[in-house]
Amino acid sequence: MKRIRLLCLGVLGLLVSQSLVHAQDDAVEQAIAGAMTALDEFMLHFNSRDMEAWATTLNYPHVRFASGSVTVWDSAQEFAQGATFERLPRTGWDHSAWLSRDVVMAAEGKVHVQTVFQRYNADDEIIGTYESLYIVTLQNGHWGTQARSSLAP
């Protein structure tokens, strides 16, 4: 009888464990979907050149590692005051697109995505291809890019 009880407890433990794994898998899958949607919005609003809309796709404080420096914005208002769309078009840039987005680490509230994106001119010619790492987080129900490290200038 003791063996049967132990066997039943073992089977029950396995079932509970599998249920927890499936729940965790579902939560991670939902996190990845949320992060990818946030990155879609990031690129959409970036290409629209609307600093305020683009700022809404981020979580704060927001950190960017690029061009040998680290920049931190504490709020969407601070980010929206940036001059990105005054500088970038002078390089010939018209729009950008993701080439790849590969999840390298994911949990319920945070997803790390290794990306490759290209910049294009107005004739849709490639002017640059860059690797980057985006860390997308869930804050107060909002998925947004919280940190990015890019090899782009």
What are the tens digits of pLDDT across the range 101-120?
999 999 999 999 999 999 99
For domain 2-150, which architecture applies? Roll (3.10)
Domain residue ranges in the chain: 2-150
With residue 8 as reference, give the H or E element that holds it.
Answer: helix 2-48
CB 107 within 8 A of CB 29: no
Dihedral angle computed from the Cα positions of residues 139, 145, 147 and 149, in that order, rounded to the nearest 10 degrees: 160
Q: How confident is the model at residue 75 (pLDDT cuts 50, 70, 90)?
A: very high
Q: pTM for the full model?
A: 0.82
- In this predicted structure, the answer to whether residue 57 has a pLDDT above a threshold of 60 is yes
**What is the reported pLDDT for 20?**
47
Residues 130-146 have a mean pLDDT of 98
Which tokens go with 80?
A: 């929206």
Which tokens go with 130?
A: 């860059």
